Every structure is written in structure tokens, then in C-alpha cells.
């Protein structure tokens, strides 16, 4: 596995672009993105579990029933959610993509992000299609990544090359996500592309399995968005033998997919709204995988712990508190906790009770930009990792006037 450049254009046969079409106020920030494969691709997706869903999700679910897609179109700045004509607008976005690219409308993945409940006008999207398609490029991932951002402070791209047998393959992704992140499905908006040849059924299985340990393990603020979607397109242009059964080649693809999803998960967690620190909670020694996941997610989601991390306060009692209400069945008298960063690691709890430690050293460790919360349950062989960020004054400021 080798990290490479290119994002969603790292895989063979994928073009992308992003432009400002006029959805957003001003004339600078990009608000419309497009990704197109040269050929139809096996496709899979997972979606928000929120009962209030954006209209593009309904349309995309219908379009992906045959397991195939060839394009992704996404606008930012205004979420097509809770609108009476939402399905109509999402369908029109697919039809416009078909009109300007030649891709079938039913092979388009459509998405939307931004303010919920505000009517989305199709006019700027329609007026921008010629420029959007005209600017498609095999080096256009960066533009697409910029165009799907809302309150994100940095664009999020990643890509890897890897071998399946004797064939070099590629996989890459872009994502957006900064607030309203507590997915319990996938998260935010994530687009992954690959030139691997794989059946739609196995691609969906790989994706559904992957999110349990990647995007489902992020929490910025405990809110599950209405528009969350993670999609993957694999167009087969690498030339590997079709992966149509589980085995070594399938496991290799799953590892490559995990490399992308885990990297994007960390980027999203670190770019939480108002965040100053990225938090990583690793739980080891659990009796079951589900127990490890439950504990890690509860700790990373704790508002009290996140606030303590903002203040560089080694308040380990908040870790134990979150473990206790997580719902996981375990013996709390065996739990150990330590905090770590590039400045070192310090033990703060053993056998469910506090131990003497230097507050000064702990504070120095917790002042760093990336903090690790290590929890040992000492009751089994399973582990899990979750990602999040600190809770700051700026989070309230951002969300106090988000619509303005």
C-alpha cells in the first residue's frame, strides 16, 4: 500500500471538477462538484439513519438499485432537504448531468449539503453545467473537494496504489464534514473511486462492513445529519481479474478501502467545527468487537470529555463516566486509562481507580494538537478506535449564526 496524489482522480478513468455556480452568496467559494467515470462502474453506498433524509438520498437509492453508476454530482451551500420539490430538483440534477456528459440519468449519484429547509433553486446549477463539464479533468480532484465543503476549513483528499495479484490498482477519495457529525451509518459526504474490477454485490458488502470501523466511529457533536452519504464507484479499468468471490483479492481490496476511509475519518474528526485538537480513542482488551466499539464511541462522544481536552485537563473521571453509561457490559474494576501525544504518555487510572500522576506533565501532553485516549478493559482480545475533536467556544459561535 502506497500513498499517492490524485484523490478521486488517482484511479484510472475518473475525471472531476468543481466550480462556483451561484448557489452561495459571493463569487468565489465553489458550490458545485462533478465526478465522472469514463465507463460505467460498479457502485455501492450507505446513507444516513436519520428519518429526515435529503431528497438526493431517495433519488440515489433508486438509481443504485442495479449496482451501477458513472457520475456523482453534488452541490454545497444549500441542502436539498425538507423541500416540497426536493425529489424534482434532485432528479433534474441527474438529468442535467446526463444532458451535458452523455451519462445515463439513472447512473448518477446526486447529493446536496448546506442549510436544511431552504429551497434549492435549480437555475444556477443549470447555468453552471457547461462550465462544470467543460472543466472536467483527470487532475480535477482538488476542485471537486473544494466544491463540496461547507464549514470545513481544509479540503479532504487521499489516495493509494496497491497490488491485486500482478496488477497495480488505485483507490482514492474526497470528503466533507466538520459539524453535524455522529453518523451511525457512513458520514457526511464521502466519494471514493477505484479502478478495481469487483462485482456490485461484493463492493456493497465491503463498504457496509468497512463503515463499522471507520466513519461510524467518528463523533464531532452528536448530531446525525439528514444528508449523509458515502458512495464508492469501481470502474474496472485497472484490468485485474474480476473479484466475484471472497478470498485473498477481496481482502486486499478491503484493506485498500479501509486505508482511504480511515484516513478520511481522521481528517474529518480533526476538522470538527471550532476544533483545536483531534482526539483518538483506542479501546483494547474487550470481550467482543461490539463492546470495544461501544466504549470507544461513547468516550469520544462525551461533551464533558471533549471540553476537558480543550482545556488540557486530565479529567480521567469523565472517561470512566462515559464507559459506565455506554451500555457495554464489562467489569469497571479492571479498566485502565492513559493520555498520550507526541510529548509522551501518562497513566491516570488503573483497575478502575485513579493513580498518582503529575498534573504538569499531563497538561503538557494534552496541549498538543493530536491526543490519544488509551483504554484497556483487560477482559478479552478485541479492540476498536474512534475519532473526534475537542469542544470549543468557536463551535457555539459557528452554529449560533450558521444561516447568516
Q: What is the CATH number of the domain that holds 219?
A: 3.60.70.12
The answer, yes or no, to whether residue 284 has pLDDT greater than 90, is: yes
Last residue of a domain, one of 270, 304, 325: 270
Is 255 in the same domain as 295? no
**pLDDT band, residue 78 (cuts 50/70/90):** confident
Q: Annotated active-site positions, please? A: 187
Is 340 in the same domain as 200? no
pLDDT score recorded for residue 336: 98
Is 191 in the same domain as 314? no
Is 178 in the same domain as 325? no
Exposed/middle/buried for residue 256 (C-beta within 10 Å: 0-12, 13-18, 19+): buried
Q: Quote the number of domains for the chain.
A: 2
Work out the end-to-end distance of the chain between its first and last CA atoms, rounded to an integer number of angstroms: 44
pLDDT score recorded for residue 77: 87
Mean pLDDT, rounded, for 134-158: 91
Give residue-wise pLDDT tens across range 345-369: 999 999 999 999 999 999 999 999 9
Is 165 in the same domain as 296? no
Is 239 in the same domain as 371? no
Give residue-wise pLDDT tens across range 306-348: 999 999 999 999 999 999 999 999 999 999 999 999 999 999 9
Could you tell me the residue range of the domain that residue 390 belongs to? 278-400
**pLDDT band, residue 178 (cuts 50/70/90):** low
142 in Cβ contact with 157 (< 8 Å):
yes
Last residue of a domain, one of 247, 270, 293: 270
Q: What is the DSSP letter of 66?
A: G
Give residue-wise pLDDT tens across range 192-228: 999 999 999 999 999 999 999 988 888 755 444 455 7
Last residue of a domain, one of 241, 270, 299: 270
Is 59 in the same domain as 207? yes
Q: What is the DSSP letter of 114?
A: S
pTM of the model: 0.82
Is 196 in the same domain as 224? yes
Q: What is the CATH number of the domain that holds 376?
A: 3.10.20.340
Can you tell me which residue has the cell 491526543?
A: 371
CA distance 147 to 76: 7
Is 171 in the same domain as 320? no
CA distance 251 to 288: 22
CA distance 288 to 277: 29
pLDDT score recorded for residue 399: 65
Among 52, 350, 380, CA closest to 226: 52
Is 123 in the same domain as 264? yes
CA distance 359 to 336: 18
Is 253 in the same domain as 299? no
Q: What is the mean pLDDT of the chain?
A: 90
**pLDDT band, residue 298 (cuts 50/70/90):** very high
Is 89 in the same domain as 153? yes
Amino acid at each position: 500500500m502506497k500513498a499517492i496524489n490524485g484523490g478521486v482522480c488517482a484511479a484510472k478513468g475518473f475525471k472531476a471538477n468543481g466550480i462556483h455556480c451561484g448557489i452561495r452568496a459571493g463569487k468565489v467559494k465553489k458550490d458545485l462538484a462533478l465526478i465522472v467515470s469514463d465507463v460505467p462502474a460498479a457502485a455501492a453506498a450507505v446513507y444516513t439513519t436519520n428519518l429526515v433524509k435529503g431528497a438526493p438520498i431517495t433519488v440515489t437509492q433508486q438509481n443504485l438499485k442495479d449496482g451501477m453508476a458513472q457520475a456523482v454530482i453534488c452541490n454545497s451551500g444549500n441542502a436539498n432537504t425538507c423541500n416540497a420539490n426536493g425529489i424534482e430538483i434532485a432528479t433534474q440534477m441527474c438529468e442535467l448531468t446526463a444532458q451535458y456528459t452523455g451519462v445515463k440519468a439513472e447512473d448518477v449519484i446526486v447529493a446536496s449539503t448546506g442549510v436544511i429547509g431552504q429551497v434549492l433553486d435549480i437555475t444556477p446549477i443549470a447555468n453552471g453545467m457547461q462550465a462544470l463539464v467543460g472543466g472536467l479533468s483527470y487532475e480535477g480532484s482538488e476542485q471537486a473537494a473544494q466544491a463540496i465543503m461547507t464549514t470545513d476549513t481544509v479540503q479532504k483528499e487521499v489516495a493509494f496504489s496497491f497490488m491485486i495479484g500482478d496488477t497495480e490498482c488505485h483507490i482514492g477519495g474526497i470528503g466533507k464534514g466538520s459539524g453535524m457529525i455522529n453518523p451511525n451509518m457512513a458520514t457526511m459526504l464521502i466519494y471514493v473511486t477505484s479502478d478495481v474490477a469487483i462485482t456490485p454485490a461484493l463492493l456493497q458488502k465491503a463498504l457496509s462492513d468497512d463503515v463499522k470501523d471507520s466513519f461510524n466511529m467518528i463523533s464531532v457533536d452528536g448530531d446525525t445529519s439528514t444528508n449523509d452519504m458515502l458512495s464508492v464507484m469501481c470502474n474496472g479499468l485497472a484490468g485485474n481479474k474480476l473479484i466475484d468471490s471472497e478470498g485473498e483479492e477481496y481482502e486486499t481490496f478491503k484493506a485498500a478501502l479501509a486505508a482511504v476511509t480511515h484516513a478520511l475519518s481522521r481528517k474529518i474528526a480533526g476538522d470538527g467545527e471550532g476544533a483545536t485538537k483531534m482526539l483518538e480513542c483506542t479501546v483494547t482488551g474487550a470481550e467482543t468487537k461490539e463492546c470495544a466499539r461501544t466504549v470507544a464511541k461513547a468516550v469520544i462522544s462525551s461533551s464533558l470529555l471533549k471540553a476537558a481536552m480543550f482545556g488540557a485537563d486530565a479529567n480521567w473521571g469523565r472517561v470512566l463516566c462515559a464507559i459506565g453509561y455506554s451500555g457495554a457490559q464489562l467489569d469497571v474494576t479492571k479498566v485502565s486509562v492513559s493520555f498520550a501525544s507526541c510529548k509522551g504518555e501518562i497513566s491516570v487510572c488503573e483497575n478502575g481507580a485513579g493513580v498518582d500522576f503529575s498534573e504538569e506533565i499531563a497538561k503538557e501532553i494534552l496541549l498538543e494538537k493530536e491526543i490519544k485516549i488509551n483504554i484497556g478493559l483487560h477482559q478479552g482480545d478485541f479492540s476498536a478506535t474512534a475519532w473526534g475533536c475537542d469542544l470549543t467556544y468557536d463551535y457555539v459561535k459557528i452554529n449560533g449564526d450558521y444561516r447568516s
